[in-house]
Structure formats: structure tokens, C-alpha cells
Amino acid sequence: MDISHIAMLGGRGLLALLFVLAGLSKIAGPKPVLEHMKQQHVPAILFPAVIALEIAAGGALLVGWQVPIAASVLAAFCLATAIVFHRDFTERAERTQFAKDLALAGGLAVLAAAAM
């Protein structure tokens, strides 16, 4: 196994864990996320779908199953998250979160392309 393969597996695993752990944390403590969704006028009915998406697509990345699809779906999710939840550019933290979500989307897009 060469270094580029190890780097790909490690990077994919770290990205996957971000989403799997986020989904699990939403299950463990839903209230702050639901409140944030309400503030942004996002229907709470989407909450279970967000959890399922994060855990399922993150899990797929983790085990290497359907990586191009899982990474593409998560990239789109990150773009949507940036646009819906982090558009108050008067707040430094929101600008940082927006940039972070864009960077994650970019990394996931690269992963999707590399896995094809």
C-alpha cells in the first residue's frame, strides 16, 4: 500500500467521521439543532432526513461504498447548509462556518471525482 492510498483512506475516513458523528450528536441532543432550524425557517420534518443523510452517506464514505455518490450528496448538503444556515456575513463565526462548509463541499467534490 503506497502513501497516496493511505492518505486517501485516512482523508476519506476523517471526512466520513465528521458526518457520522454529526448525525449521532443530533440524535443525542436534538434541541439546539431544531431551534437553529426553526430560526432559519427550515421545517423540523426534515430533521430525521438530515440525520439519515449524515449517517448513511458518512457511513458509505467510511466503508468505501458508492464513494462518488456519497461524496457528491454530502458536497451538495454542505453547499445547502452554507447557504441556508450561514449567510449572516456580519457575524465572524457565520463567515467562518460558511467558508468551512464551502471548503468541505470542495474537498468532497474532489473525493467524488477521484473515486470515479
3-state SS of 4-25?
HHHHHHHHHHHHHHHHHHHHHH
* Residue 19 clears pLDDT 90, i.e. is over it: yes
> pLDDT above 70 covers what percent of the chain?
100
If one counts the domains in the chain, the total is 1
> pLDDT above 90 covers what percent of the chain?
97
**Average pLDDT score over residue span 96-102:** 98
* Residue 51 clears pLDDT 90, i.e. is over it: yes
**Spatial contact of 20 and 58, defined as CB atoms under 8 Å apart:** yes
Predicted confidence at residue 1, as pLDDT, reads 80
Give the range of the structural domain holding residue 34, as residue numbers without chain letter: 3-114
**Average pLDDT score over residue span 3-31:** 96
Q: How far apart are CA 66 and CA 71, in angstroms?
A: 8
Instruction: Using alpha carbons, select from 81, 80, 60, 76 the residue that is nearest to residue 109.
Output: 76
Q: How much is the mean pLDDT over the chain?
A: 97
Predicted confidence at residue 66, as pLDDT, reads 98
